Structure 1
Amino acid sequence: MTTRNGLGPTMDAEPVSEELSFGPFRIFPRARLLERDGAPLSLGSRAFDLLHILVSRAGEVVSKGELIAGAWPGLTVDETNLRFHITQLRRALGESRDGEPYIANVTGRGYSFVAPVGRGVSPSKQVQSSETPPSSHLPPRPLRIIGREADIVALAELLAARRFVTLRGPGGIGKTTLATASAHALRGRFTDGVRFLDLGSLRDPQHVVIALASALGMLVPVGDPSPRLMDSLRDREMLLVFDSCEHVVDAVARLAEQIYQQAPGVSLLTTSRESLEVAGEVVFALAPLENPPESLSGETDLGKYSSTRLFMECAVAAGCSPSLSGAESEMVARICRKLDGVPLAIELVASRLSAHALIEIDELIEGRLRLAWRGRRTAPLRHQSLSAALDWSYELISPAERILLEYLSVFPGPFTIEGAVAVACESGEPGVSTDGFEQLIAKSLVSSRPEAGRLRFRLLDTTRAYATEKLAASGSANAAGLRHARYVLQALRPRSYEPGGESPGGWNCRAELLSDARVALAWAFSGEADRELRTSLAAVCTRLFVELNLLEECRGWAARALAGPDDADGDPAAKVELLWAFGHAAMFTERTGQECEAAFWQGLKLAQQLGDLQNQFRLLSRLHALYRRTDQRKLLLQVASLAQGVADRAADPAALARAHTFVGIALHLTGDQRLARERLQAGEDGDAAIPNLPVDHFASPRGTHILSCTNLWLLGLPDQAVGIAERLMRPNANPDLVMYCAGVCYAARVYRWTGDLGALEAAIDLLEGYSRKHGFGPMLTVSFALRGELHIARGDVEEGVKLLQSALPRMIADRFETHSGALTIALVQGLAALGRLEEALASMDARIDAVAARGDSWDTPELLRVRAELRSRSGDHSGADHELLAAMDLAERQSALSWLLRAASSRVRLSGSGDGVALAQLREIHGRFSEGFDTADLRAARDILQRASS
């Protein structure tokens, strides 16, 4: 009894075969078949032999020698091969219901199968007798199926439900292997068996019908055999497999549609590089094997990923050791990613390990060799090398489609339909059109996937290498490179700070063009592009590098573009952009020297000549950041004033809000905290009033400025300062990682002032991590100095002084001086704690003189206070009190209530609690605070007052 759809179980009386069962598994030794829950589970030949031996002797300890002799009869095999296959076997079986592995390792003796095993027979899996439907039409069962177990099950279910399935995918993806394995797994489920037709050798489409008639044992009549063929199939229950249909696709499509409509008991499985596109067809798009992620660590198990598992099996078969170091594991993962998880490519490359070391393979596959390496001699010609596999597809497409494929090879990665049209479909070659692009997708030469609501396309790396060779041979490589460079230029040209530029949404919206930008720049500077294209292209690409925080790359390309001879007929707007980008990148990746400053001023002058107010403001923004970090406070005020004038002329709300912020920062750093707060607040209010402002408007963060936290602390509002510091520390607080790190620096300062050493340490760790990762050298130095300050605060004074004495000179050399005052204070306090009082006083004198030479500063009251304490320790009590009074007076004039509290507290400590005037001053100053009573300075002041009153 059988079911009419041909996929139900057969119940006819036939000879039976032995069956072994355990857990959800059943083994049929004669058929060399393993099932889990009734579905076939693929194992390699060696692994199946090992499993059969262990299950047959369940409960016994089977020695390693017995297992090797049983699985590798007559061969001398290293024990590592046995361990490798046992590992693969354990992974395939998983764990029992008790959570234990089925196979136990008995140290020094061998292995034992520890689960209960049942023995019996199964009528549905018996070996076929002479009366059973013939299976000689099937190719041999594949010995190794890796990563396709779920596909075999899914394909069986799809055939049961729909009867007609096309396995579609590019050459070498494993269509034939999967179709063969599935046919073997399903052959017992069809009354009339399976017929497998390899159409790869056919050249005449008319022979397709004849080939099927011959496979069915029919005498082929003169004329069209289709009517007799349909009569023969109408009452049969069988599976027909048509393999490699792409070169005779029209003939197969007509025949398959007829069979589907006229023979309801016949199921159809076709393999092709393109769909048949006929009634009844369901397409099963075969995906590449699973690759390890880019972030793979050396300890990651390569056996977890089907691509690397296949690679290792092939490598072991070629005589390599299955044991890899962490670096070698990463290399294997990288090779499989380069090969796009294509099984044929992996097999061909891994087989070369008998002749090349792994590191050589990694290097060689970048070039022509991987296309030429040959595989099994017994494989079909189209599968004997990657080049042959691609030749097969290339010969099947039209001349116009070949040109299109070659032009598409200039894309280094995924691309959009707009990119394809711009580079290839509008190449000027006759006959090339978007219809051809659709045909390349249909024929599996171009793959597609949805991403962020739109389709993205790409060529597999091997296909790209092949098409690149064809492009070079055609003489069109330069034309394709030019069209690609122009496409990148147009795609990157809109900027969100321009009217009509990109819509809001962050700085990473064009990250998908990064690889294209790199390839286009490399081509443009190779000698093929004209000067104007180079400059314009470099300008938009360096802007992208800034948006993606790739500042080293930005600086290199900008410098290269600017190094060429001046061209009066060039693009001056592009030169402005390059000068901005070079100065911005250099400021944060190397010592901030005259080159950086000169680039900003040169760009500003050129922008003024062009009447470009937007870029004038952007350049002033960068100059403001430069003078802020170099502590040039007079120049900072001048630049802030210039920015205010440009914003007024531009009448741009965002520029006006930012100009308020620039003036506020200058006032904050020169010591007028009250007016600074008014301007900073005006900037914040201005930003808040602008809906949907892009985050990179004028290349500066919007909303609360990073220096607001230090301004609020100085004003005597510690809790509000900490609140802003916490916001600055949040992940993704600013998409510009340079500004994010700058915010973390100021957050760290607030945490130190408030005495939260745990939060300070977290800020230092964050700053150091980002600086190392992104090459922000000067900020990395700041993180070292802050860690020295933390050591001193925690009592590890010697280590802290050592770090600070190393980092501070580098900070000064880097002209990263905004934070050097507070860090100098930490150093001199550490020196004093070590008894090096004279050295501490000399360092403090030098710092105060350097600050005074540049005018009023926000940290002068604190510098005076610390020097007063040093003088008191050296015995100069009168001079110390005089300096403390000067610090208090200056702090009062600066509206720096927190500095005032510190100076007043020091005066009471140094003069003693008997000084009623000093105590009254401290009590009055303490009373002005409305928040922050749990912070370090307010707790210390409260303790002084409580001791004095007790």
Structure 2
Amino acid sequence: MTTAASQNKDVWSFGPFTVVAGERLLAKEGVPVELGARALDMLIALISKPNEVVSKKELMSRVWPDVTVEEASLRFHMASLRKALGDGKEGARYITTLAGRGYCFVAPVTRGSRAPEVAPAAAVNFPHANLPSRPSRMVGRDDDVVKLAAELISCRFVSIVGTGGVGKTTVATAVAHHLLDSFAGSVLFVDFGMLIDPKLASTAVASMLGQSVQSEDASQGLIAFLQSRRTLLILDNCEHLLETVAPLASRIIEVAPQAHILATSREALQVEGEHVYRLDALACPPEEPGLTAASVQQFPATRLFAERALASGARLDLSDEEARVIADICRKLDGVALAIELAARRVESHGLQQTAALLDERLARLWRGSRTAPPRQQTLQATLDWSYGLLSQQERLVLRRLAVFVGHFTLDAALEVVTGALLDRSIVFEAIDSLVAKSMVATRPIGAMMRYRLLDTTRAYALDISLDAAEATDLAVRHANYYRRWLEQTGKDWETLSTGTEKAPYFAGLNNVRAALDWCFGEEGNATAGIELASAATPVLLTMSLLTESQRWSERALAALDEQRRGGREEMQLQAGLGISLMFTRGNSDQARAALTRSLAIAEDYGDAFQSSGMLSMLHLYHLRSGDYDLALRCAEHASAMASKLDDQMLRTVSHSLLGISRHLAGDLNGGRTELETALQSSLGKTAGRAIYFGFDHLSLSRASLATTLWLQGYPAQASARALEVLDDAEHMNHPVSLAIALTAMITLLWTGELDAVEQHLEWFVARAKTQSFGPYVDVGGGLQAELAIRRGDFKAIDTLIECLEKLHGAHYERFTARFNTMIAQGFAATGRFTEGIALVDKTMQLVEAKGGIPYIPELLRLKASILLTMPTPRASEAERCFEMSLESSRAQGLRAWELRTATDLAAHWAGQGRAKNARTLLQPVFGQFTEGWDTPDLLAAKSLLNKLDLAASC
């Protein structure tokens, strides 16, 4: 077995090559060969097992021991290794690929313990070589190195441009090592970071090349020296010397045809022949739930953090939980390599969680990095000080003012907010253009428009530079007023957003709305601006189901209202936001009803039909949830009367929806079905019909109600299709309130026996309801999960169902009371608690008769009859009277589903008494009414019983 200690002493030779493991060296005929660290690790792994197959899995575990990578990375570095060895050229063959198995090193290998004398290539051909050591653990930059190397060879002059700490020097050094052989070692690295006087730029380069400098301007002698030489110049950290470095580089490229220049700078040199390569920050995992350790480690920012933390002595389990913390840290640091490395070094002393917490404190900017790093890169504060020192006074003022924005902002927003007495629009425009060029402001196209942002570390730095108090207040008010106008202009757009691409620019603006509201209602804020902004934000927050935020800002703005503003449109919007958010998150409280009623009263005073209709629809839902179906019907009729007088298709669609739901719940199935189908038909092909209306998609509830109606009327297949359509549509919309409403579609699927489909959707829906803090819907979902368990024979779930129902009572949510009571009564009967079961059935029938709702009376009578027959002393005559009453009620209301269940149970009872003929005479015509749904439980049970009755009759 080869240990790490012995391997460090090993020397392998094959063909013209020698590998010295301890020195991490590959040489060809005594000359070092440039090879990446990963590729060299692969070579050592392969040559240590010559003529043996090394699987891809084993190779990846040796080369990336602490990181999970994809096979693409393995293939990339294998290609680099083969290229360095010249594998396959001029008959040379070193590595073969065995499909499905791995790789094998096939050339003869000699192993020893003494390395041959190897002359550094740079020293042989270029006595002034001073290239820093190759980065040993560069993460996430392999593609950049390859692209830059190719561009540098073809274009000769490339500038790596990026923000401070992003890794420009590291990448430039790696590119230089990658091209070392191409320039026969003739590579000069010039670090301008320590040079202050711009006039000395050419002198510094010339002196490093050993040229005698006998005048103030050394550029002529330098260019003469380079004119006939193939040389690569690395000009590092040029941003503070642009006035002299830029013309010098341009002149070298023009006059010295074999010279190549790779510059690094925080802004482009902007001269003829320059090709700019913008180095972006390292990619970070997206901010989304369910991130796993495996998925997080696919991103270079998090891999870098983990590697540097482990290298500093920290202990990481790299569990899913830790991986999510690391992802949050890297996002906060915007993927900037220096910031990530500085934070990772703190994990060993502070721990992961505390390191994450300290990032929000100014202290984090003072964390020190490597002692060998340049002073400007030893702390994040030093890097930011360096960048800020390069700005003009006007650029500094604009940067400080831009810090008022959170996340992305548009140029229009910046021009509106940042301009003031000392800065007109033209100055601001030029300053932003310059800040972008100097990598102090990042750009990103979102949608059709360019967006700008300050990196979080830059923004925090700028916020620490205080503005005059009056200037700061004026800036914050302009920021709040701009986003109020933006909300007013874009309010309707939010209703029909569907894709993530469409939402992105809107959410960027919403972050600024939140920041402005925080300031407005803070100690030094402006309550008037806050009231106006909160009022404009309310419809948007409702549309996006941001109900907790809607409640918070509505309450704060309402508390700040003075008498002059009470009764106005602002209060109307704020009361609506408060009422709707309370209803969905906390249940049907008196406070929610009062807020909705107040908003309706103000809307009617203004003659605002749209707002009035919206509040009527919310009060309709409030009464449905309270179980007061008469009041719900009145709201629906009021909304319908209002819509009939207006030429507004959306209001008419909503009014049909409200009437359909109410009539369906009142037992008028035919009338309800007509209204529901009209609402759904009128919405087809119309964007307005699918819009989120006061934070609520009425069509989801309409479809769910229609599915229930179809099942009750004896159309189980159509009902199932409608219910699945509701669930799939809600998932596609990805709208939290609509997702919660779609839980009602589960009723139909439980009736049709599609238990697996219910389970598939229910767990996900309940999880979303919990995420959104939709208290009542969490309990509805829990109740449906308990019902599912009971239907599968797990009667221990009765207690869970009772607990959920008690919570719903506490929230005044009675929509599911009759249904859940029915399941609890069935559970009681199944576990021998017959008296409790009958008592609960009787109590529920009284409730339904008093309140109305889905016509459960026939089903409750059937259930009571079944319990009476299963008691230790059956009460057959009383049970038969219940069956007869159930059949009569079902037929009177056209409830074929209940009629079939009752007829099946009564027929089975008669068959058991030897009355098979009577049983068949009862059941056959009821079964014959059905034209679909033959695979549903009720029809299968009826069909099975009819077959037994037919068999009995033939005997």
TM range (shorter): 0.7 to 0.9
The answer to whether the Cα contact below 8 Å between 2:543 and 2:696 also exists between their aligned partners in 1 is no
Structure 1 residues 306 and 178 mapped into 2: Cα distance closer, same or farther (>3 Å)?
same
Please list every run of 5 or more consecutive structure 2 residues that lacks an aligned counterpart in the other structure.
1-9, 52-60, 79-94
The percentage of counterpart residues that share the same residue type is: 34
**Does residue 162 in structure 1 map to residue 161 in structure 2?**
no
Please list every run of 5 or more consecutive structure 1 residues that lacks an aligned counterpart in the other structure.
1-17, 61-81, 104-112
Give the whole-Å Cα distance in 2 for the aligned partners of 1:656 and 1:648.
Answer: 7
2:361 pairs with one of 338, 344, 367: 367
Give the whole-Å Cα distance in 2 for the aligned partners of 1:125 and 1:494.
Answer: 71
Residues 490-549 of structure 1, C-alpha deviation per residue, up to 9 Å, x if partnerless? 22224655xxx6684449733333422322222121133333322222233343333333
2:906 aligned counterpart, secondary structure: helix
Residues 609-636 of structure 1, C-alpha deviation per residue, up to 9 Å, x if partnerless? 1221111111111111122222211001
2:565 pairs with one of 553, 562, 569: 569
Structure 1 residues 545 and 118 mapped into 2: Cα distance closer, same or farther (>3 Å)?
farther
Q: Which residue of 2 aligns with 1:629?
A: 625
2:851 aligned counterpart, secondary structure: coil
Q: Which residue of 1 aligns with 2:801?
A: 804
**Does residue 407 in structure 1 map to residue 401 in structure 2?**
yes
Q: Which residue of 2 aligns with 1:73?
A: none
1:625 is matched by which residue type in structure 2? L
1:209 pairs with one of 186, 193, 202: 202
Q: Which residue of 1 aligns with 2:548?
A: 552
Task: Quote how far apart the aligned CAs of 1:737 are.
Answer: 2.1
Task: Quote how far apart the aligned CAs of 1:638 are.
Answer: 0.3
**Does residue 445 in structure 1 map to residue 440 in structure 2?**
yes
1:433 aligned counterpart, secondary structure: helix
The answer to whether the Cα contact below 8 Å between 1:545 and 1:551 also exists between their aligned partners in 2 is yes
**Does residue 519 in structure 1 map to residue 520 in structure 2?**
no
Give the whole-Å Cα distance in 2 for the aligned partners of 1:24 and 1:789.
Answer: 75
1:853 aligned counterpart, secondary structure: helix
1:382 pairs with one of 366, 370, 376: 376
Q: Which residue of 1 aligns with 2:430?
A: 435
Q: Which residue of 1 aligns with 2:57?
A: none
1:893 is matched by which residue type in structure 2? A
The answer to whether the Cα contact below 8 Å between 2:626 and 2:815 also exists between their aligned partners in 1 is yes
1:549 aligned counterpart, secondary structure: coil
Q: Which residue of 1 aligns with 2:241?
A: 248
1:707 aligned counterpart, secondary structure: helix
2:260 aligned counterpart, secondary structure: strand
Task: Quote how far apart the aligned CAs of 1:656 are.
Answer: 0.8
2:915 aligned counterpart, secondary structure: coil
Residues 252-298 of structure 1, C-alpha deviation per residue, up to 9 Å, x if partnerless? 22122222122111101111100112221111111223434445756
Q: Which residue of 2 aligns with 1:639?
A: 635
What number of residue pairs does the alignment pair up?
895
Structure 1 residues 624 and 226 mapped into 2: Cα distance closer, same or farther (>3 Å)?
same
Task: Quote how far apart the aligned CAs of 1:572 are.
Answer: 2.5
The answer to whether the Cα contact below 8 Å between 1:290 and 1:306 also exists between their aligned partners in 2 is yes
Give the whole-Å Cα distance in 1 for the aligned partners of 2:716 and 2:600.
Answer: 39
The answer to whether the Cα contact below 8 Å between 1:314 and 1:347 also exists between their aligned partners in 2 is yes
Q: Which residue of 2 aligns with 1:78?
A: none
2:305 is matched by which residue type in structure 1? F
1:195 pairs with one of 183, 188, 206: 188
Give the whole-Å Cα distance in 2 for the aligned partners of 1:321 and 1:802.
Answer: 44
1:300 aligned counterpart, secondary structure: helix
Task: Quote how far apart the aligned CAs of 1:461 are.
Answer: 1.7
Task: Quote how far apart the aligned CAs of 1:228 are.
Answer: 4.2
1:843 pairs with one of 840, 849, 857: 840
Q: Which residue of 1 aligns with 2:89?
A: none
Structure 1 residues 849 and 341 mapped into 2: Cα distance closer, same or farther (>3 Å)?
same
Q: Which residue of 2 aligns with 1:333?
A: 327
Q: Which residue of 1 aligns with 2:782?
A: 784
Give the whole-Å Cα distance in 2 for the aligned partners of 1:458 and 1:39.
Answer: 43
Give the whole-Å Cα distance in 2 for the aligned partners of 1:524 and 1:23.
Answer: 74
The answer to whether the Cα contact below 8 Å between 2:545 and 2:695 also exists between their aligned partners in 1 is no
1:522 aligned counterpart, secondary structure: helix
Residues 2-33 of structure 1, C-alpha deviation per residue, up to 9 Å, x if partnerless? xxxxxxxxxxxxxxxx9957899984669844
Aligned-residue Cα RMSD (Å) equals 3.8
Task: Quote how far apart the aligned CAs of 1:345 are.
Answer: 1.6
The answer to whether the Cα contact below 8 Å between 1:124 and 1:188 also exists between their aligned partners in 2 is no
Residues 28-56 of structure 1, C-alpha deviation per residue, up to 9 Å, x if partnerless? 669844699x9944449xx98x9999889
1:676 aligned counterpart, secondary structure: helix
1:310 pairs with one of 304, 315, 322: 304
1:146 aligned counterpart, secondary structure: coil
**Does residue 858 in structure 1 map to residue 852 in structure 2?**
no
Structure 1 residues 135 and 474 mapped into 2: Cα distance closer, same or farther (>3 Å)?
farther
1:234 pairs with one of 211, 227, 231: 227
1:457 is matched by which residue type in structure 2? Y
The answer to whether the Cα contact below 8 Å between 1:655 and 1:698 also exists between their aligned partners in 2 is no
- Larger mean CA deviation between 707-716 and 800-809 belongs to 800-809
Q: Which residue of 2 aligns with 1:760?
A: 758
Give the whole-Å Cα distance in 2 for the aligned partners of 1:35 and 1:488.
Answer: 63
Give the whole-Å Cα distance in 2 for the aligned partners of 1:410 and 1:23.
Answer: 64
Give the whole-Å Cα distance in 2 for the aligned partners of 1:193 and 1:265.
Answer: 11
- Larger mean CA deviation between 423-432 and 157-166 belongs to 423-432
- Larger mean CA deviation between 166-175 and 902-911 belongs to 902-911
Task: Quote how far apart the aligned CAs of 1:437 are.
Answer: 0.9
The answer to whether the Cα contact below 8 Å between 1:307 and 1:341 also exists between their aligned partners in 2 is yes
2:294 aligned counterpart, secondary structure: coil
Give the whole-Å Cα distance in 1 for the aligned partners of 2:159 and 2:567.
Answer: 54
Structure 1 residues 759 and 143 mapped into 2: Cα distance closer, same or farther (>3 Å)?
closer
Structure 1 residues 733 and 462 mapped into 2: Cα distance closer, same or farther (>3 Å)?
closer
2:235 aligned counterpart, secondary structure: strand
The answer to whether the Cα contact below 8 Å between 1:290 and 1:341 also exists between their aligned partners in 2 is yes
The answer to whether the Cα contact below 8 Å between 2:865 and 2:883 also exists between their aligned partners in 1 is yes
1:745 aligned counterpart, secondary structure: helix
**Does residue 286 in structure 1 map to residue 285 in structure 2?**
no
The answer to whether the Cα contact below 8 Å between 2:683 and 2:690 also exists between their aligned partners in 1 is no
The answer to whether the Cα contact below 8 Å between 1:506 and 1:696 also exists between their aligned partners in 2 is no
2:551 is matched by which residue type in structure 1? R
Give the whole-Å Cα distance in 2 for the aligned partners of 1:511 and 1:24.
Answer: 60
**Does residue 148 in structure 1 map to residue 146 in structure 2?**
no
Q: Which residue of 1 aligns with 2:55?
A: none
2:272 aligned counterpart, secondary structure: coil
2:884 is matched by which residue type in structure 1? L
State TM-score, norm by structure 2. 0.85
Q: Which residue of 1 aligns with 2:886?
A: 887
- Larger mean CA deviation between 573-582 and 763-772 belongs to 763-772
**Does residue 945 in structure 1 map to residue 946 in structure 2?**
yes
**Does residue 749 in structure 1 map to residue 750 in structure 2?**
no
Q: Which residue of 1 aligns with 2:895?
A: 896
The answer to whether the Cα contact below 8 Å between 2:586 and 2:776 also exists between their aligned partners in 1 is yes
Q: Which residue of 2 aligns with 1:580?
A: 576
Structure 1 residues 896 and 321 mapped into 2: Cα distance closer, same or farther (>3 Å)?
closer
